[in-house]
Amino acid sequence: EAGVVQSPRYKIIEKKQPVAFWCNPISGHNTLYWYRQNLGQGPELLIRYENEEAVDDSQLPKDRFSAERLKGVDSTLKIQPAELGDSAVYLCASSLGGEQFFGPGTRLTVL
């Protein structure tokens, strides 16, 4: 069984530029999560999808962050414009009513 796939694995951009991350969850998993993990800290939830519906986006900074999950499968997370403080690892996870499986993450560096 293929795991959660994320791309790109690394991204370096200058501040004020846009950036997008892509996630392909495990086949059949209806719940998809985007987390942000800062160095030395635990992951922090940004948004959770049940199928194509965003059911928890209370911690998503909506002025610059947006996400979508078309057709309830793949998802993209976008930041526009990026700020220095957005540098972190962005993790995607998926689940089917139980354990959350994580992707390898995208390490974002904003210069």
Partner 1 sequence: GENVEQHPSTLSVQEGDSAVIKCTYSDSASNYFPWYKQELGKRPQLIIDIRSNVGEKKDQRIAVTLNKTAKHFSLHITETQPEDSAVYFCAASKRSNYQLIWGAGTKLIIKP
Q: At its nearest, how many Å lie between partner 1 and the CB of residue 3?
A: 9
Can residue 54 be called a binding residue for partner 1 (CB under 8 A)?
A: no
Can residue 56 be called a binding residue for partner 1 (CB under 8 A)?
A: yes
Indicate the residue type of 78: K
Q: Which of 23, 91, 108, 110 binds partner 1 (CB under 8 A)?
A: 91
Can residue 102 be called a binding residue for partner 1 (CB under 8 A)?
A: yes
Q: At its nearest, how many Å lie between partner 1 and the CB of residue 8?
A: 15
Q: Which of 86, 105, 106, 110 binds partner 1 (CB under 8 A)?
A: 105
Q: What is the CA radius of gyration of the chain?
A: 13
Look up residue 55 and give its two tokens. Answer: 């059911």
CA distance 25 to 9: 15
Specify the residue, 54 or 81, whose C-beta has the smaller distance to partner 1.
54
Q: Which of residues 61-90 bind partner 1 (CB under 8 A)?
A: none
Q: What are phi and psi of 72, to 5 degrees?
A: 70, 25
Three-state SS at 72: helix
CA distance 58 to 41: 20
